[in-house]
Amino acid sequence: MATQDIVLDTQEHTSTGVDNVKLAMWAFLGSECLFFASLISTYLLYRNDVLSGPTPSEIYDIPFTSVSSFVLLMSSLTMVLALGAIHRKDERQMRVWLLATAVLGMVFIGGQIYEFTTFVEEGMKLDTSTFSSAFFVLTGFHGAHVTVGILLLLTLVMMSLFGRLSPGAERKVEMIGLYWHFVDIVWVVIFTVVYLIPTNG
């Protein structure tokens, strides 16, 4: 054992038995939990302070957002299918599912852009009230996370097309998948806290 090649940045024997990259990803997601917890706390503090701007119940289009939330949740399913495909060494099908995941993510982001635009037209901008600031920054940062996820998915697809995904293809897909599922779960929390829990307004 002692004189074997030590190759870093790759799957290797580890002290805990957990892959390095996976451990790092879990640590990173732990950090992200605190990030979103801080943003959500801020939102909870300010959600009733709307000043003269529209109140949450006036402005939220719950059916619309429910649909886009459903789209995002479905993308977790396609992500699982992509991972399943690469487990079967079926890169072609994996690309299809990854692409589907990315497209579903893009639909969600499109919905968010539409939502933001509508809100601004209805008189709720970033600087309208503390509620509006907290709303835009919280959901905006989530949107940014989804966008990063889409870029990562598309990168995987491109790498696969150019034959650069292997070695370690499974692990790469699994890591991006972990991130993607995390971002989805955070959205479930945000959707519940922001859209579903009624406010005084």
Partner 1 sequence: MATAAHAQKGLFSRPRAKTGWFSWVTTVDHKKIGIMYMFTALFFFIVGGVEALLIRAQLAQPNGQVLSADAYNQVFTMHGLTMIFLVVMPLGSALMNYFVPLMIGARDVAFPRINAFSYWVYLFGGLFLYTSFALGGAPDGGWFGYAPLSTLQTSDGMTFYALGLQILGIASLGGAINFIVTILNMRAPGMTLMRMPVFVWMTLVTSFLLLFAMPVIAVALFQLMFDRVWGANFFDATVGGDPVLWQHLFWLFGHPEVYIMILPAMGIVSDILPTFSGKPIFGYAAIVFAGIAIGFMGWGVWAHHMFSVGLGPVANSAFALSTMFIAVPTGVKIFNWLGTMWGGSIRFKTPLLFAVGFVTMFVIGGLSGVSHAIVPHDGQQTDTYYIVAHFHYVLFGGAVFGLFGGMYYWWPKMFGRHLGEGLGKVHFWLMLIGFNLAFGPMHILGLQGMPRRQDTYPDNMGWNFWNLISTVGAFLIAVSILVFFWNVVRSRTKGEEAGADPWDGRTLEWATASPPPEHNFDVIPHVTHRDDFWHTKYATDEEGEPVKVFAGGSGSDENIDQVHHTGHIHMPDPSFWPVVAAFGLPVLAFGVLYISTPTLVVGGLILLVGLFGWGLEPSAEEH
| Amino acid letter, residue 89 | K
Q: Looking at residues 168 to 187 of the shown chain, list those that interact with partner 1 (rule: CB under 8 A).
A: none
Tell me the C-alpha distance between 38 and 134, whole Å.
Answer: 11
Q: Is 192 in the site for partner 1 (CB under 8 A)?
A: no
Whether the bond into 198 is cis, omega within 30 of 0: no
- Closest alpha carbon to 195 in 39, 32, 47, 46: 47
Selected binder of partner 1 within 59, 86, 102, 134 (CB under 8 A): 134
Taken as a whole, the chain contains a residue count of: 201
Q: Report the nearest approach of partner 1 to the CB of residue 18 (Å).
A: 7
Collapsed DSSP state (helix, strand, coil) of residue 177: helix
Each residue 14-53 as x (binds partner 1 by CB under 8 A) or -, in order, gives xxx-x-x--xx--xx-xxxxxx--xx--x--xx--x-x--
Selected binder of partner 1 within 55, 93, 155, 199 (CB under 8 A): 155
Collapsed DSSP state (helix, strand, coil) of residue 5: coil
Q: Is 139 in the site for partner 1 (CB under 8 A)?
A: no
User: Which is nearer to partner 1, 19 or 61 (by Cβ)?
Assistant: 19
Tell me the C-alpha distance between 4 and 165, whole Å.
Answer: 25
| Distances 53 to 41, 113, 129 between C-alpha atoms, Å | 21, 20, 7
User: Which is nearer to partner 1, 33 or 197 (by Cβ)?
Assistant: 33
Q: Is 66 in the site for partner 1 (CB under 8 A)?
A: no
Q: Is 163 in the site for partner 1 (CB under 8 A)?
A: no
8-state DSSP, 17: S
Please report, as ranges, the residues that interact with partner 1 according to CB under 8 A: 1-10, 14-16, 18, 20, 23-24, 27-28, 30-35, 38-39, 42, 45-46, 49, 51, 126-127, 129-130, 132-134, 136-137, 141, 155, 159, 164, 167
